[in-house]
Amino acid sequence: MKISKQIFLLHPRRSSLQLSCLYLRPSCGFSSRLLHIVSYSRDQGHSVHSARNRLYCFSVSAKMGNSQSGVCPDSPAMERSPHPSTAEGAGNMHINSPATPPSSLIRKFSSVSPTSPERVELLHHIAASPTRDSLAKPLTRKQVAHCKETLSQLLKKFKSHVIDREFDVLRSERLQATKLLACTTVGRMESNLPKNRYLDIIPYDDTRVILEENRNGQSSSYINASYVRDPSYGPLPKFIATQGPLPHTNADFWEMVVQQQCPVIVMLTGLVDRNDEMVKCDNYFPSQSNESLTYGRFRITNKETTTSQNSVIYRLLEIETLQSGDSAPIPVLHMQLEWPDYGIPSSTESVREMVRTNYRIPSNFGPFVVHCR
């Protein structure tokens, strides 16, 4: 298999220099690609090898189709992070956290009410003017020097094939099939199999999102979604990785968004493949402004739709609970980028814009939801 490598340098974040490298390569992984979001920051006065620097790794595994069996997502192979430039420095962020935080713990993590004025105002502002605060600014001399230094290190790793060796380590440390079966028992239950878009992408029992019983009108607490945690957050998740909703899991998806108090949904796919018209994700949200759709006990209304110069679509969605007429609607920012199947975007601008936009959302608003097809 021929390996392709792409390096994206992302824009500085706030007061400290935030450089990020988006590294993609095809594999027998989710969406046939292994996505490493490599991000590290350097404040003034800290060296490149500072303990403040962090490397984040998000790895996802292959889709075989709903009628086939296969293996679960790649196991996290690199949990210790001395530094990104070292062979050992491969990622503090991983899917396989020791235990699934209970719903009560998640609600404590979301310390800001979903209907609080500050949350409502911020999400409205971003949806209405997504590019106003996301325009790239010229780099300072120090930032340019750091970019050159980073690129120099990466080029050395490419020339010496260190990147290939690091990826081989990831593949060699994948869980064996017997261990995968033992850690994905809930998702493989007969009653839950129809809720999986792909039978080889099953959430680990210890990291899956558990829906509160009977809140979705069903007895099942299962949804194909996993917490992804960052050690700097402690045991709490940084975001939730899930599949594109199916027609019969749309209500479950919105139950998860409400129960976990998620402020942002990041959608990295289109609804339909433009080439063969295959459905890649069910229409779980109203795509047009002032349109409303009902899923289970929720009415979802599209209050506003804006498309940025980089073709990122921003939708301000409001969630209303039908059974409780007095409760205020919950705002959610929906961000969509049609990531090409088996490929990458033609430009880094859209990815950088989404990253910068997400940095504007305070962490105490709750975990984001990220999904592709």
Q: What is the pLDDT of residue 58?
A: 32
CA distance 42 to 19: 8
> Residue range 316-326: average pLDDT?
86
- pLDDT digit string (tens) for 202-235? 999 999 999 987 554 555 799 999 999 877 766 6
Residues 243, 197: contact at Cβ < 8 Å?
yes
Cα angle at 56 between 52 and 59, to 5 degrees?
Answer: 170
- pLDDT digit string (tens) for 26-70? 333 333 322 333 332 333 333 323 322 222 233 333 333 333 223
First-residue to last-residue Cα distance in the chain: 23
pLDDT exceeds cutoff 80 at 178: no
Domain range 17-371, CATH architecture: Alpha-Beta Complex (3.90)
Cα angle at 34 between 30 and 39, to 5 degrees?
Answer: 130
CA distance 214 to 230: 30
pLDDT exceeds cutoff 50 at 252: yes
Q: What is the pLDDT of residue 60?
A: 34
Q: How confident is the model at residue 313 (pLDDT cuts 50, 70, 90)?
A: very high
> Residue range 277-295: average pLDDT?
93
pLDDT exceeds cutoff 50 at 299: yes
Residues 187, 208: contact at Cβ < 8 Å?
yes
- pLDDT digit string (tens) for 127-169? 888 765 445 567 789 989 998 999 999 999 888 888 889 888 8
> Residue range 102-113: average pLDDT?
58
Q: Give catalytic residues, as residue numbers.
A: 372
Domain ranges of the chain: 17-371
Q: What is the pLDDT of residue 175?
A: 74
Q: What is the pLDDT of residue 235?
A: 65
> Residue range 176-187: average pLDDT?
83
pLDDT exceeds cutoff 50 at 125: yes
* Summary mean pLDDT of the chain: 72
CA distance 229 to 240: 9
Q: What is the pLDDT of residue 112?
A: 82
Which of the two residues, 371 and 102, has the higher pLDDT score?
371
Residues 244, 234: contact at Cβ < 8 Å?
no
CA distance 54 to 210: 29
Q: What is the pLDDT of residue 340?
A: 87
Q: How confident is the model at residue 174 (pLDDT cuts 50, 70, 90)?
A: confident
Environment class of 280 (CB within 10 Å of its CB; exposed 0-12, middle 13-18, buried 19+)? middle
Chain centroid to Cα 272, Å, comes to 20
Which of the two residues, 172 and 3, has the higher pLDDT score?
172
pLDDT exceeds cutoff 90 at 195: yes
What is the per-residue burial (b if ≥16 Cβ within 10 Å, else e) of 293-304? bebbbbbbbbbe
Q: How confident is the model at residue 306 (pLDDT cuts 50, 70, 90)?
A: very high
pTM of the prediction? 0.68
3-state secondary structure of 177: helix
Q: Which of 168-177, 314-323, 334-343 comes out lowest in average pLDDT? A: 168-177
> Residue range 316-335: average pLDDT?
89
